[in-house]
């Protein structure tokens, strides 16, 4: 079984994309059909999202196995701890292992709306770092990744606190990191400087989301807490009404971000293309 972490040691930039499984009450075949198109794009890996509390766990495992087996691309499966007891997490990880999924992105996840205060405050794993520790201890053959935040995680008081917590994550076994999406590269470079100062040496893939329609930006910002620089809001104001122009401008913005990151020696680029291989194809053709 190959460890995705090794890809960061080849001296080449690691290119990856994030995809998501369908909701558990939806058919899985249309998603599989779409993901087949990643075969000839051949990213270094695809990461598969996971609903908080394992709401779509079955489909997530099926999609991850499909990518590995039928698309022929290495896979990183996200796993969230927020709604999981120790026993349930262990079951989830065993299922991953049975399906030869041994690269995992350990995430806390966000509190589901249905979770009571008591449930939230007595959860087995408080943070992603606690879950990473559990996985490292019980699944030593797994490769563990973690998330980091160029705009700072919204719950942290300041950057210093967030970076100190990030260090715990890496110390507990996260051997590489994927960043939350960001639109201002200076935020990413600042995070890298703070990481260096804190002695965090894990490679980081920079998270880039191409904004291909104006509506996407609002949802993205609400969900991720990412700040929007004036250059991007100007773009939306100028092209937002015209779908074709907006798509072109959004992809160009992402390409320019990536070119600048490559010039700064980024370890990896992680595209939040969300089941749109055609967007990944266009961006990779111009950057890879």
- Site residues, ligand FAD (CB under 6 A): 49-50, 52, 78, 80, 107-110, 127-129, 147, 153, 155-156, 162, 165, 168-169, 178, 180, 207
Which lies closer to ligand FAD via its Cβ, residue 48 or residue 71? 48
How far apart are the C-alpha atoms of 182 and 229, rounded to whole Å?
A: 10
How far apart are the C-alpha atoms of 7 and 268, rounded to whole Å?
A: 10
Which lies closer to ligand FAD via its Cβ, residue 43 or residue 109? 109
Which lies closer to ligand FAD via its Cβ, residue 127 or residue 136? 127
In whole angstroms, how close is the CB of 245 to ligand FAD at the nearest point? 29
In whole angstroms, how close is the CB of 213 to ligand FAD at the nearest point? 22
- Residue 48 phi/psi, 5° resolution? -115, 120
In whole angstroms, how close is the CB of 263 to ligand FAD at the nearest point? 23
Positive or negative, the CA dihedral 61, 62, 66, 69 is positive
In whole angstroms, how close is the CB of 153 to ligand FAD at the nearest point? 4
Contact 127, 79 (CB under 8 A): no
Question: What are the CA-CA distances from residue 152 to residues 40, 107, 108, 155 (Å)?
Answer: 35, 15, 15, 8
Question: Half-sphere exposure (CA, 13 Å, Cβ side) for 144?
Answer: 26
In whole angstroms, how close is the CB of 33 to ligand FAD at the nearest point? 22
In whole angstroms, how close is the CB of 166 to ligand FAD at the nearest point? 7
Which lies closer to ligand FAD via its Cβ, residue 167 or residue 248? 167
Which lies closer to ligand FAD via its Cβ, residue 180 or residue 275? 180
Which lies closer to ligand FAD via its Cβ, residue 64 or residue 246? 64
- How far is residue 143 CA from its own chain's centroid? 15
Contact 190, 151 (CB under 8 A): no
Which lies closer to ligand FAD via its Cβ, residue 132 or residue 246? 132
How far apart are the C-alpha atoms of 74 and 224, rounded to whole Å?
A: 26
**CA nearest 82: which of 161, 155, 143?**
155
Positive or negative, the CA dihedral 11, 274, 258, 167 is negative
In whole angstroms, how close is the CB of 141 to ligand FAD at the nearest point? 22
How far apart are the C-alpha atoms of 120 and 59, rounded to whole Å?
A: 25
């Amino acid at each position: 079984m190959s460890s995705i972490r090794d890809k960061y040691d080849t001296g080449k930039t690691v290119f990856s994309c994030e995809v998501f499984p369908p909701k558990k009450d939806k058919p899985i075949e249309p998603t599989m059909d779409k993901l087949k198109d990643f075969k000839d794009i051949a990213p270094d890996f695809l990461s598969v999202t996971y609903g908080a509390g394992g709401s779509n766990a079955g489909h997530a495992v099926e999609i991850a196995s499909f990518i590995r087996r039928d698309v022929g691309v290495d896979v990183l499966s996200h796993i969230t701890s927020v709604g999981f007891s120790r026993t349930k997490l262990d079951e989830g990880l065993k299922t991953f292992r049975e399906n030869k999924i041994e690269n995992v992105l350990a995430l806390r996840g966000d509190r589901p709306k249905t979770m009571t205060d008591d449930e939230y405050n007595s959860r087995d794993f408080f943070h992603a770092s606690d879950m990473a520790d559990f996985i490292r201890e019980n699944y030593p053959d797994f490769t563990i990744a973690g998330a980091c935040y160029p705009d700072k995680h919204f719950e942290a008081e300041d950057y210093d606190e967030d970076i100190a917590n990030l260090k715990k994550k890496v110390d507990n076994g996260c051997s590489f990191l994927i960043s939350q999406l960001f639109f201002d590269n200076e935020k990413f470079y600042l995070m890298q400087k703070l990481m260096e100062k804190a002695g965090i040496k894990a490679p980081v893939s920079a998270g880039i989301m191409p904004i291909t329609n104006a509506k996407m930006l609002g949802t993205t910002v609400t969900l991720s807490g990412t700040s929007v620089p004036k250059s991007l809001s100007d773009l939306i104001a100028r092209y937002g009404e015209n779908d074709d122009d907006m798509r072109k401008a959004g992809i160009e913005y992402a390409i320019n971000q990536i070119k600048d990151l490559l010039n700064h020696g980024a370890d990896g680029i992680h595209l939040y293309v969300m089941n749109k291989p055609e967007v990944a194809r266009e961006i990779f053709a111009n950057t890879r």
